[in-house]
Structure 1
């Protein structure tokens, strides 16, 4: 299990599944947010925050909502807006302790062009 939180501690997460890798995406949003994602089904991640503690940002094809803490501004997670598909989400592993993710491989995803992993 890997835990993380935003800078002020208003948003916490726990990833309950073993991670084979984490993903660094080069799309314009992920690149500018500086995120590295752990993807999972919503049932495999616990998010804890008070109602109204995050701001959501939806852009492009409007399939994802990026959430950031209203207090400290850290981007914490994204949720899929298309619940007809598998309810996927991701949490920002830059908010976990570095030692907790040090041995997890980082895969690079080309979200800017090909929508494929570059490795």
Structure 2
């Protein structure tokens, strides 16, 4: 299935294709504050439609994860990282997707504080 997503003001827009199943709630210092629910997909399944020039990036700790956000509305629609085998992954903030029933998604809790 193909999903449309964006930041709140729409400056950053994207689409992602795949089977939306389990999402991840992380308790690391940034994810807990943002309240994101992440859906991990290979980078090739997400296409940026607008906002490449406007998007900002935040990294911290080991600087391995690139948290992408809109400088206008402040929303973090996704993050990008390279996994141990060298593949590029994207974690979509499912709260930024249109038409998704969040209550129907199984949530796996990840202890990001332990990293």
TM-score range (shorter-chain normalised) is 0.7 to 0.9
1:1-40 equivalences under 5 Å are 1-40=2-41
SS in 2 for 1:75: coil
Stretches of 4+ aligned residues off by more than 6 angstroms: none
Contact 2:13–2:51 under 8 Å retained in 1: no
The offset of 1:98, in angstroms, is: 5.6
Contact 1:6–1:69 under 8 Å retained in 2: yes
Distance (whole Å) between structure 2 residues aligned to residue 30 and residue 49 of structure 1: 24
1:88-99 equivalences under 5 Å are 88-97=89-98, 99=100
Distance (whole Å) between structure 2 residues aligned to residue 25 and residue 112 of structure 1: 8
Q: Number of residues paired by the alignment?
A: 114
Q: Which stretches in structure 1 are left out of the alignment for 5+ residues?
A: none
SS in 1 for 2:108: strand
